Structure 1
Amino acid sequence: MSELQKTDLNLLVAFDALMAERNVTRAAERMHVGQPAMSASLARLRKLFNDPLLVREGRALVPTPVAESLVTPVRQALSIVEGALGTRTSFDPAEESRTFTILASDYVLVVMLRELLNTLRKEAPGVRINVRPIGADYVDQLRRGLIDLFIVPRELERSGVRLLSEDLFTDRLVCAVDADNEVVGESMTMHQFESLPYLAFVGDEMTTAAQSQLRAQGVDRPIDVATQSFVVAPLLLRGSSFFSVIHERLGRTLGRQNGLRLLESPVPFTPITEAMFWAVRHADSPAHQWLRDRLREAAAALR
């Protein structure tokens, strides 16, 4: 049996924590061990793989190419073990130390997850939530165990991969202008929709609900200013003549403090349904069930 085959599972967990945190102290806190113990695990890992794995660049620790090549297979192995043990173990949020990675837009983060993250700090002090933006490879990341779940509009999830899912909340698309915009009155006309300067979020790799619905209705509305953030787009309307199509919940969250006025769109948009998606192997995992329960509660609070 090779030296790698004899490796204690905890050593692989330590590697996973070190690669995620890139900090010995934080990795130790994540695993509820002392810093000397984590330093010893790093030393054993370096000897095992005959590579420094983490090297210092300025004040930061960065992984070597060997370490980068090991991240995915180690994460996959741990994910398989977690799935196998999921039906036979419990999850105590007050005592556990682990990181959940969720892919979601900044819109979902502001509307639904912001208060949840504050609540979890009290209920689960050792649990970390890593929220990352959605890329085109989101299903592949889920399959490889790099993320725990993702949240996207159900109408836009067309991967064709067998996933488990649950609806969280619905929202509407509305038009937004500066509260002091004198060109637009109490309603927006189709002429204004087609002629006023248009500011919109444009994803790098995934289309948005607004883009998808406009395209489906044959409405060619050129974008004059594009942003890479749902949240930034409405904030830029203040003091401008631009309009934007935004999620109503986001508009109501930001509107009062940022001088926005929300208007019904002359183009009929159908409501969207934000849903969470997760891999079948996580269905019975107590840890994932706990996470999904917290997301359900956060979504229910919106209603």
Structure 2
Amino acid sequence: MDFRQVDLNLLVAFDVLMSEQNVTAAARRLSVGQSAMSSTLSRLRALLDDPVLERRGRTMFPTPLAQSLVGPVREALTKFNSVLTEPPSFEPARDNRSFTVMASDYASMAVLQPLLVALPTEAPHVELRIQPVSASFLDDLTADNVDLTIVPLAAADTITDLFEYQTLYTDPYVIAVDADNPLVSDGITLEQFSSLPYLASNDGNAPTLVETQLDRLGIPRRLDVTTGFGIAPFLLRDTPFVSVIPASLASTVAEGARLKLLTPPMPLEPITEVMVWAGRNHDDPSHRWLRERLADIASQRTWPGAAGTAR
């Protein structure tokens, strides 16, 4: 590669082409003509000796080489920009900022809802956008479509060196039933658990971590209903169903959903939630403030104890 042919504008154009994966959209975003953007793409192809973008049907897709360069190029552009600008600062009480966070309904109730309560007084000009977690959350972080993602620790297996993550909290599971369920007193045995109609939860199209654990332990269930993770606690009222939910979610909704919470009669590993962000944003003051506030909120959460396990 002849580095004399590389200029900053070419790197910027590459970054935008990778984000848009469409020459017309990239040209519009950079406020240049489509012919100029096509010429830039030709320069990139000659420089890299690679097609960069390939058409499949009516859609353009990045080549493996181009995809491998997305993270390094974007990180280089970010560092170059930081060199040319003043050291960034962030004053939450004064500055305008918008954050997009991916999180499940459960994690949103555990740590994002308390942040929403605090924002009007602590950071009145900060906007928080919450989106459900997608399977492509790392791509969204890379493309700066998302600032932060909260996911179970198990998802950290897919995290590469381009990302950072930090544990937010560890949450035990509890058994939840309707408060007036006549079949359950102040404790529940494994036999009772397996005999009661069971309300299972899923996370989109996939089973939740607790369902996977119950399957691994070989715990039989009378599976009658399967529903979304966040709605499960609210469906127990006036029914004989039993369900297993994280303690943080259970304690938040127990009074309104009229639940009785019990200690599980089987050994269940708690769920651990982590926050993940792009490594290039690690030292950004606004990103650091968001992460520190969420960590502080999580550190102050305590889960009320459930009633004992029947023997």
Same fold (TM over 0.5): yes
The aligned residue for residue 194 of structure 1 is 194
Establish whether residue 219 from structure 1 lines up as the match of residue 201 from structure 2.
no
The aligned residue for residue 306 of structure 2 is none
The aligned residue for residue 183 of structure 1 is 183
Cα distance in 2 for partners of 1:123, 1:260 equals 33
Q: Provide the secondary structure at the position in 1 that maps to 2:248.
A: helix
RMSD: 3.5
What stretches of structure 1 of length at least 5 have no aligned partner?
Answer: 7-11, 13-43, 51-68, 70-75
User: What is the Cα deviation at residue 86 of structure 1?
Assistant: 5.5
Cα distance in 2 for partners of 1:121, 1:83 equals 32
4+ runs deviating over 4 angstroms:
44-50, 76-87
Whether the 8 Å contact between 1:100 and 1:127 is mirrored in structure 2 is yes
User: Cα gap change, 1:156/1:46 in structure 2, threshold over 3 Å: closer, same or farther?
Assistant: closer
User: Cα gap change, 1:198/1:300 in structure 2, threshold over 3 Å: closer, same or farther?
Assistant: same
Q: C-alpha offsets along residues 7-44 of structure 1, whole Å, 9 cap, x if unaligned?
A: xxxxx9xxxxxxxxxxxxxxxxxxxxxxxxxxxxxxx9
Cα distance in 1 for partners of 2:121, 2:78 equals 25
User: What is the Cα deviation at residue 155 of structure 1?
Assistant: 3.4
Q: Provide the secondary structure at the position in 2 that maps to 1:266.
A: coil
TM-score by length of 1: 0.70
Q: C-alpha offsets along residues 250-284 of structure 1, whole Å, 9 cap, x if unaligned?
A: 11111123210011112210122221111211111
Q: Provide the secondary structure at the position in 1 that maps to 2:244.
A: strand
Q: What amino acid sits opposite 1:172 in the alignment? A: P
User: Cα gap change, 1:222/1:203 in structure 2, threshold over 3 Å: closer, same or farther?
Assistant: farther
The aligned residue for residue 299 of structure 2 is 300
The aligned residue for residue 248 of structure 1 is 247
Whether the 8 Å contact between 2:111 and 2:298 is mirrored in structure 1 is yes
Whether the 8 Å contact between 1:86 and 1:284 is mirrored in structure 2 is no
Cα distance in 1 for partners of 2:141, 2:292 equals 19
Whether the 8 Å contact between 1:86 and 1:286 is mirrored in structure 2 is no
Q: Higher Cα Rg: structure 1 or 2?
A: 2
Cα distance in 2 for partners of 1:131, 1:220 equals 36
Establish whether residue 130 from structure 1 lines up as the match of residue 145 from structure 2.
no
Aligned pairs, number: 248
Whether the 8 Å contact between 1:101 and 1:131 is mirrored in structure 2 is yes
User: What is the Cα deviation at residue 237 of structure 1?
Assistant: 0.6
Cα distance in 1 for partners of 2:31, 2:160 equals 40
Percent sequence identity over aligned pairs: 38
Whether the 8 Å contact between 2:201 and 2:207 is mirrored in structure 1 is no
* Equivalent runs, 1:264-275 vs 2, <5 Å: 264-275=263-274
Cα distance in 1 for partners of 2:289, 2:81 equals 15
